C-alpha cells in the first residue's frame, strides 16, 4: 500500500483499518476504525480534507477526491463519508458529503457539494449532480439521480449487515497479510 504525506498533511489511519497494497492514500485523509480500502482505490486529500467514518468499505477501483477553495468556490468542498457506508466498485466521489449507513452502487458518481443523507441507497451507475440533496430512507437511481421509492425495512437492516460483513472480510485480509510470528531459536539452530 502507498500512504503518502503531502507537505504537512499525513493520512491518519485508526486501528483495525485494512488498506490493500495496491491502494493509494495521499495527504489530509482520516480513515475511521475498522474501515477497509480495497484494491486500486485512490484517496487523494491534497487540496482539502477527506474524512471516512468507522466500519466503512471503499471498494475496488474507487476514486475519492475533493474540491479546492478558490475565487469560484471560496470554501471548497471536503469529502466526508459517514459510518457503516459501503461504496461500490469504481465509484467516483468528489467533494461531497455522505451520511451514515449508505450504499453507493458500483460505478456511481457523486459530484461537488452534493449531500446524501443517512440510510440512502444510490443505485449502480447513477449520477448525483453538484449540490443535489438525497434525503434519508430512499432509493435513488438514474443520471441525474431521481428518487425511485422508499426503502423497505429489509433494505434498512442491510446497511449494518453489509458493514459488519466487510469488517469480517477485512479482518481476514489483515490476518492473511500479517507477517508470521517470529520463532524462538531451537537447540539445533544454536
- What domains can be seen in the chain, in order of their start residue? 2-189 (2.160.10.10)
Residues with Cβ within 8 Å of residue 161, at least 6 apart in sequence: none
The total number of residues shown for the chain amounts to: 190
pTM of whole model > 0.75? yes
Phi/psi region, residue 32 (left: phi>0; alpha: psi -120 to 50; beta: rest), is beta
Q: Residue for cell digits 469504481?
A: 90
Sheet with 103-104, edge to edge strand ranges: 18-19, 36-37, 57-58, 86-87, 103-104, 121-122, 138-141, 146-150
| Model pLDDT for residues 71-85, shown as the tens digit of each residue | 998 999 999 999 999
CB count in 10 Å sphere of residue 97:
19
| Model pLDDT for residues 102-153, shown as the tens digit of each residue | 999 999 999 999 999 999 999 999 999 999 999 999 999 999 999 999 999 9
Residues with Cβ within 8 Å of residue 134, at least 6 apart in sequence: 114, 115, 116, 117, 120, 122, 128, 140, 145, 147
Q: What integer pLDDT is reported at residue 100 of this predicted model?
A: 98
The CA-based angle 38-104-51, given to 5 degrees, is 65
Is the pLDDT assigned to residue 94 strictly greater than 80? yes
When pLDDT is cut at 50, 70 and 90, the band that residue 180 belongs to is confident
How far is the C-alpha of 111 from the C-alpha of 67, rounded, in Å? 9
Amino acid at each position: 500500500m502507498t500512504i503518502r504525506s503531502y507537505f504537512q498533511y499525513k493520512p491518519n489511519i485508526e486501528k483495525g483499518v485494512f488498506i490493500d497494497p495496491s491502494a493509494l492514500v495521499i495527504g489530509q485523509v482520516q480513515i475511521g476504525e475498522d474501515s477497509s480500502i480495497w484494491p486500486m482505490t485512490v484517496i487523494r486529500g491534497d487540496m482539502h480534507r477527506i474524512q471516512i467514518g468507522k466500519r466503512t468499505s471503499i471498494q475496488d477501483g474507487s476514486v475519492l477526491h475533493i474540491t479546492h477553495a478558490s475565487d469560484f468556490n471560496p470554501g471548497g468542498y471536503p469529502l466526508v463519508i459517514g459510518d457503516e457506508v459501503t461504496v461500490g466498485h469504481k465509484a467516483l466521489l468528489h467533494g461531497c458529503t455522505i451520511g451514515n449507513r449508505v450504499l453507493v452502487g458500483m460505478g456511481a458518481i457523486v459530484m461537488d457539494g452534493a449531500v446524501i443523507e443517512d440510510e440512502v441507497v444510490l443505485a449502480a451507475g447513477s449520477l448525483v449532480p453538484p449540490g443535489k440533496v438525497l434525503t434519508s430512507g430512499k432509493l435513488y437511481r438514474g443520471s441525474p439521480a431521481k428518487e425511485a421509492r422508499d426503502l423497505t425495512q429489509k433494505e434498512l437492516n442491510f446497511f449494518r449487515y453489509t458493514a459488519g460483513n466487510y469488517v469480517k472480510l477485512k479482518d481476514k485480509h489483515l490476518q492473511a497479510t500479517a507477517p508470521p510470528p517470529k520463532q524462538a531459536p531451537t537447540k539445533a539452530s544454536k
